[in-house]
Structure 1
């Protein structure tokens, strides 16, 4: 591996660094520009905070990085100190390039309209576990003890039936033979049989009493299940309310922290220095990266906007309080984790997407997707082929499913699903617990119900089409449309 070519931009004397210090009134800026010649499997590793990042792909075997920090409201000495402490670090070689913003100090923000100081406390992500209810099922009582055994029959010597005598004597022989047979059941045995009959009668009465008790217990259990169902619905409402409150808090923070699209020069940022003295700075960080199409991305971005290139493959990204804009995301090794971050993708070809408390997640065309979403609002405009989706405490909308799709596997917990079904034949299965369901009447379904659970299984138009939709719902609302 080539020796790392390390460049840290903290001084004006670095010959490889393009440094520009411009002063337009109170505006100070510093620009870093670097070029790396890379191989086909090069990786760009980005770890930034409060910076906008924009990517562009080209056919050259070079990665060009141009980063700019604009600072307004600081003296030259303060600007130099800020650039020294909060500059941008770049290191790299032909195989790996790292871009990192220096650690920020505490941040607060200034509201220009009211000229008041706002300290923004970034909320922690609430821990909202799925609402799984443990329903205690009482043990079924033993109905009754084993039935008493019949008294043992003592050995009996029975005269062999004489067919020749029967032909001669007829009924008289039968009466004689029966009398001899009854002698084998003496008076003591008859008393034992009578006692056994009484005990059997008592056991039968006991069984009937136990059955009545079980019927009462079943009725009580039915009432308990209804109460549990109501409690689950209430918990679900509370969870959705907590989710709305968390999202509202996020909106407030997002409005003041994330780069404002209503201001061309970005947000007003108030910087609190280490000694607690206030400096009212307006800071804007922009990083533009040109790279070959084969270059892989690894990102950890906080508080910034990320604009991806035309086609991004096998990206590994963690986004927090950010915004992701992409044309095409591709590659089976793609993995994106977005928390409190809007996401907009024109075409999602392959990869995994994990969402936490993210609004305005819009995926226009989806080819193959594995999605895990918690307290997020997701809209898929068109599913082309296949998706595995786990949606917890959120809203999932699928506007269109292509006629040549293959399969859709959905798990919805404490959430909502609205899905427009395809017009092509498909098999369908809906397994619900404490959930509501509505769907078109032309689905050929066989339904089973057990308490608060139900299973609807069947097909549309014809069986065994090779296309399937499977839905597992817990405490959720399922709406299917045609």
Structure 2
């Protein structure tokens, strides 16, 4: 056994002690009940929260709110509980529900997030055969990290391998960039200059926190050294093996979509959840960010950003959904805006207008009277109802694939530089049908089968 191995053992030993502390979970629950009208409007303003809504046969709204914190002490967990801005207020006509982060006291939104900024290290194999001869050595803590390239030279990092992926979210900004054009435009703004200054400040803040962490680690190592002779050697072997397995999982990962943050080298997981029961005729007004939202049969309006949206039947609503995964069973008499939604699945659409930008949308069934406007995306329809009446699609630098199968239809085109492949045009029943597909657009591709 060599000198370097001793250092590794001691480091692993301290990580075992830390991992036992970080495994703790603490939770808190709130409940609110309100007597309401049967058609009550439920207004939800939330961030980083799982929201599940169900209906019942009562003129009453019930909210069960849960928060769980993992990886900190009981006292530290209480601070997160206190910083959760949960509130529910009501009268007969409206219920206002709020689930927000206190950004001034929190940590997560003080960072600028670049996707794939991961720092991995290799974990060498450990030979336990000579473990009994361990002598605990002195360790050198005079190491440092270079944050200059990460935090300052963002222009050099941006666009590597042709990828542009940048997010800036704090109290005053909510900026997402996914292309070179957006990045070049952003560099001309005053927000860009503000960002450069902010990163200088954050760099010094992180360096200070690391320095404090090193001092704390020195103290922990000293204590471990003093306690070493008191610990059963066989037990240490087992604990070190566990620590090795945990080290293989460790990764410093800046990602705004996770409910995790790194504080002084510790992973803290925060989970917030709302379970809401409403009358069957309740309607919803949504303003959610980084949330998973699940709705029943209902009317919904508002905005959903950076999350997941699942709904059964949406009726007579107006929703804008950005950067989220979307699953909807039925759209009826709705107006739906999808922006940068790479995975949208809708089972059926009726009397609805859809406007899609830079999105991939799959519709299983078109029932009747549907209007689609699609830019820079892919729009697919798997099936048309025999009497779908009118279907209008306007494309701009997009691709559309429509499966008419044996359903007859007339066609009307108003296009410019559109590649059109209509294999359904030869259906002998087309001349006698009242169905019509109107195709408008430019610089696009449409295939009808």
TM-score range, shorter chain: 0.5 to 0.7
Where does residue 432 of structure 1 map in the other structure?
415
Q: Does 1:55 pair with 2:53?
A: yes
Equivalenced residue count is 304
- Mind listing any 5+ residue stretches in structure 2 that lack a counterpart? 1-20, 123-144, 152-164, 169-174, 182-252
Residues 93-148 of structure 1, C-alpha deviations (whole Å, 9 max, x = no match): 222111112333442699798699999952634598x9xxxxxxxxxxxxxxxxxx
Please report how far the alpha carbon of residue 72 of structure 1 lies from its aligned counterpart in structure 2 after TM superposition: 1.0
Where in structure 2 are the equivalents of 1:450-469 lying within 5 Å? 461-463=429-431, 465-469=433-437
Normalised to the residue count of structure 1, the TM-score between the two structures is 0.58
Which protein is bigger by CA-based radius of gyration?
1
Where in structure 2 are the equivalents of 1:112-261 lying within 5 Å? 122=167, 124-126=175-177, 256-258=255-257
Where does residue 95 of structure 2 map in the other structure?
97
Residues 98 and 442 (structure 1 numbering): CA distance in 2 closer, same or farther, change over 3 Å? closer
Equivalent of residue 269 in structure 1, options 243, 260, 263: 260
Cα distance between partner residues in 2 of 1:41 and 1:441: 45
Please report how far the alpha carbon of residue 62 of structure 1 lies from its aligned counterpart in structure 2 after TM superposition: 0.9
Please report how far the alpha carbon of residue 466 of structure 1 lies from its aligned counterpart in structure 2 after TM superposition: 2.2
Residues 382 and 102 (structure 1 numbering): CA distance in 2 closer, same or farther, change over 3 Å? closer
Q: Does 1:327 pair with 2:318?
A: no
Please report how far the alpha carbon of residue 384 of structure 1 lies from its aligned counterpart in structure 2 after TM superposition: 1.3
Equivalent of residue 476 in structure 1, options 431, 444, 447: 444
Equivalent of residue 285 in structure 1, options 268, 272, 277: 272
Aligned-residue CA RMSD (Å):
3.2
Cα distance between partner residues in 2 of 1:474 and 1:393: 11
Please report how far the alpha carbon of residue 464 of structure 1 lies from its aligned counterpart in structure 2 after TM superposition: 6.0
- 8 Å CA contact 2:39–2:279 kept in 1: the answer is no
Q: Does 1:341 pair with 2:347?
A: no
Residues 403-422 of structure 1, C-alpha deviations (whole Å, 9 max, x = no match): 11111000000000111125
Normalised to the residue count of structure 2, the TM-score between the two structures is 0.62
Residues 113 and 36 (structure 1 numbering): CA distance in 2 closer, same or farther, change over 3 Å? farther
Where does residue 315 of structure 1 map in the other structure?
300
Q: Does 1:353 pair with 2:336?
A: yes
Select the structure that is richer in helix. 2
Where does residue 199 of structure 2 map in the other structure?
none
Cα distance between partner residues in 2 of 1:46 and 1:466: 43
- 8 Å CA contact 1:432–1:472 kept in 2: the answer is yes
Where does residue 45 of structure 1 map in the other structure?
43
- 8 Å CA contact 2:340–2:358 kept in 1: the answer is yes
Residues 430 and 106 (structure 1 numbering): CA distance in 2 closer, same or farther, change over 3 Å? farther
Residues 182-241 of structure 1, C-alpha deviations (whole Å, 9 max, x = no match): xxxxxxxxxxxxxxxxxxxxxxxxxxxxxxxxxxxxxxxxxxxxxxxxxxxxxxxxxxxx
Cα distance between partner residues in 2 of 1:112 and 1:74: 23
- 8 Å CA contact 1:434–1:475 kept in 2: the answer is yes
Cα distance between partner residues in 1 of 2:328 and 2:300: 14
Cα distance between partner residues in 1 of 2:368 and 2:53: 28
Residues 91 and 111 (structure 1 numbering): CA distance in 2 closer, same or farther, change over 3 Å? farther
Where does residue 75 of structure 2 map in the other structure?
77
